[in-house]
Structure 1
């Protein structure tokens, strides 16, 4: 009998092993890092699509600016449908030819210069859109990671509260504590579980917001190690305003305004239109050539006001550039200080302060179970630990957010050189 049972168990074990070997192994869901989120968002962001369309439009406008004026086909008939010898078409004179405008004063090259400046500004605008998207995605990612961290903390605090309630219940039943301790512990448990529920709900919202940004569900874990890491010690290297996107945009506006001044000056030079035609005389059936030249007579609009307007707009753009340089330098200095201060706060909150609060809570729990500490001491230690954990998460989120803002301000301008 024992041999039969042993044989049966061996067969069952072999069957289970074979089934386990043939069953497919579920692959773990890949971690969604910040860089991956940025990559996914760049492929679906409407702002990037709009900026790309703006660049294409500017490039098409550059092509149009280089075209020369189109010739005009001219055809006219004179001395028809009159009276006397001009009755009917017998005295008609038909002229057909071409008129060709000739631009003078460098108008075409001035138009091209304006189009080049506008194209450069569009490319800087595309880089600005990319930098703004990177900031928005980073902030959404920070919010999602911080929400996950808050859920973990809330769950741990809820479990601690339930354990405290169990300990209080034991003490009350043993007659070593007043029933009020059990009620206090129950209130602490209820509040901790409500906090856990709120944190879970906010986590779902934060992950959904991030999913909308990247265009796909956020099903995998987030990079919590990146969130907890505080980078660098000591003063950071200062970033000069020159070469940043903010200043590059202002400089591109100055270049556009300067090109507009050149175009306004070129527009003051009148263009010449030359024409060449063939005239046919109906009465004699003879053909004669007709040549003509036309030049505008600038009596009312001589273009001086347009030049004045363009100069004023250039002066405005130059003043705004200087203001942007001052604002960018100030913003960078403030951002660097905010990053340094946030890093200091994050290190303290997530390091020594958190360790001290955890140790105090641990001692208070042991002492409460052994009857050495009162419940108020335990509640105070647990409240301090909960507040310190929350402060650490907030400090890390503030540090990452300050980093994102600093990086946005320090984003380098794109290379606008043309091949």
Structure 2
């Protein structure tokens, strides 16, 4: 008989019976024991170990270290005087005597050494700028390590949150599977309506889907952490250890004072200093360099005065290029560096203030879950379970209590994760360049 011709009540009963038969013929697939795997994984890792691995594998930290080596090499180049120039020349060559007389009687030979002498403090300004850029590179390295630590901290506790979600959702899915098996027996003996069985079947399927999704999110969190610490291939074996972090006391020092010691601010200040030294170097270009030379001339006595020595001085005449463009470019770069320094200070100050506020809000939210919402939800679920077991409440009320408990438990995990992330952000925001 077509389904459309069945009476509404019978139609619902038929649907419930179909769902029940499907549950009997196709039992709930076993949920992998993800929490047990996480606890016994081959590569459980502590937060400190993850930070150590990331310090060696993080590409941004590696790039910052290489930039520091480049800055140090640039200092060696800057703190070097120009090389002398050696030249050998033949003079007073007599073409009419080529092939007739020996070479030493055909031309004079002049050996000369010229030495450029920098004036105006060019080398001093160049070296000072290079030193300042080394300071900036060192602070950039501290800043890169600070960002790396914050990212690893976040990824580590995101993984811990994912592990907790899997545990909770797996427990819920297992509980629904057990309840559904009992409900099937009750419905078979007439102690449970087909409608209630259908509702429990739907809830069990939903719980199973949520548990499967949490497993996917868990693997994503493992991969995120593995990528940061250079363990991408073994990421499916990663598991966290230890408890959730507890927030410490707030730093009472003013945010703007801490900001002045932040590595990114110190790097900006060092670049401003380098720009000032570049301005000095550009102004020094207005002082022409002097080149002094000494020469030895070997000549035949028959052709000249014989062997002799000579001295020379050369000086460029600044009539075309007075290095005005170089000076203007250096001064413009200084203005830009000063603007970047002010911006860095403002951003650092705001970052610290926002991080402090975010941590306080996260702690308050977690406290509300721990002291109020979670105990109340658990108590309500226990009462609903007891009442339903004694026929004092409906299945819908029981399912609502279970859903509320699940939402609160997952919310509590999110609150703990928010606290951990807020701790990481505040720690990064208040990091100074003292650990250079």
**TM-score, normalisation: structure 1:** 0.85
SS in structure 1 opposite 2:366? helix
Are 1:250 and 2:274 counterparts? Answer: no
Partner residue of 2:299 out of 258, 281, 287: 281
- Equivalent residue for 1:155? 170
Partner of residue 346 from structure 1, selected from 345, 366, 371: 366
Q: Are 2:73 and 1:60 aligned?
A: yes
Q: Note closer, same or farther for the CA distance 1:147–1:172 as it changes in structure 2 (3 Å cut).
A: same
Unaligned runs of 5+ in 2: 1-39
Tell me whether 1:69 sits opposite 2:89 in the alignment. Answer: no
Match of 1:325 in 2: 345
1:213–1:324 Cα change, 3 Å: closer
The aligned residue for residue 30 of structure 2 is none
Q: 162-171 or 405-414, which moves further after superposition?
A: 162-171
Match of 2:60 among 33, 37, 47: 47
| Contact 1:113/1:259 (<8 A) preserved | yes
Q: In the TM superposition, what are the counterparts of 1:395-410 in structure 2 within 5 Å?
A: 395-410=415-430
State the partner residue of 1:372.
Answer: 392
Asked if the contact 1:274/1:294 (under 8 Å) is kept, the reply is: yes
CA deviation map 1:269-297 (0-9, x unaligned): 11110111011223347111121100011
User: Which of 132, 155, 160 is the matching residue for 1:140?
Assistant: 155
Give 1:203's aligned residue.
218
Spell out the pairing of 1:291-306 with structure 2 (5 A cutoff). 291-306=311-326
Which residue of 1 is the match for residue 377 of structure 2?
357
d(CA) in 1 for partners of 2:127 and 2:224? 44
Residue 355 (structure 1) shift: 1.4
Of 404, 410, 426, which residue of structure 2 is paired with 1:384? 404
Alpha-carbon displacement from aligned partner over 1:168-215 (angstroms, at most 9, x marks no partner): 335434534321101111111111112112212221232233223323
Q: Does 1:271 align with 2:284?
A: no
The equivalent residue for 1:10 is: none
Q: 1:233 to 1:314 in 2, by over 3 A?
A: closer
Matched with 2:433 is: 413
Q: Please give the alpha-carbon distance, in whole angstroms, between the structure 1 residues aligned to 2:401 and 2:254.
A: 42
> 1:264 deviation in Å?
1.0
Contact 1:80 1:87 in 2 (8 A): no
1:262 aligns with 2:277: no
CA contact (8 A) 2:180 2:201 kept: yes
SS at match of 2:261: coil
Partners of 1:337 and 1:92 in 2: CA distance? 87
Aligned to 2:17: none
Cα 1:195–1:278 change in 2 (3 A) is: same
Paired residue secondary structure (1:98): strand
Q: Provide Cα deviations, 1:322-366, integer angstroms capped at 9, x if missing partner.
A: 122122212211111111111111222244211111111111111
Q: CA deviation at 1:81?
A: 4.9
Question: Which segment drifts farther, 46-55 or 121-130?
Answer: 46-55
Q: State the distance in 2 between where 1:82 and 1:233 align.
A: 93
**Residues 170 and 211, structure 2, Cα contact 8 Å, conserved in 1:** yes
Q: Give the number of equivalent residue pairs.
A: 388
In 2, are the aligned partners of 1:103 and 1:272 still within 8 Å (CA)? yes
Taking the aligned partners of 2:94 and 2:164, their CA distance within structure 1 comes to 93
Distance 1:48 1:332 in 2: 23
> Do 1:167 and 1:369's aligned partners in 2 also have CA atoms closer than 8 Å?
no
Which residue in the other structure is 2:115 paired with? 100
Task: Identify the residue that residue 127 of structure 2 maps to in structure 1.
Answer: 112
SS of the counterpart of 1:225?
Answer: coil
For 2:297, what is the secondary structure of its paired residue?
Answer: strand
Shift of 1:97: 1.8
CA change 1:233–1:325 in 2 (3 A) is closer
CA shift at 1:143, angstroms?
A: 1.8
RMSD: 2.5
* Structure 1 residue 231: Cα displacement: 2.3
Secondary structure at the aligned position of 2:310 is classed as strand
Following superposition, the deviation at residue 30 of structure 1 comes to 7.7
Inter-CA distance 187–370: structure 2 relative to 1 (3 Å threshold):
same
1:178 counterpart residue number: 193
Does the CA contact (< 8 Å) of 1:230 and 1:343 recur in 2? no
Aligned residue among 341, 357, 360 for 1:337: 357
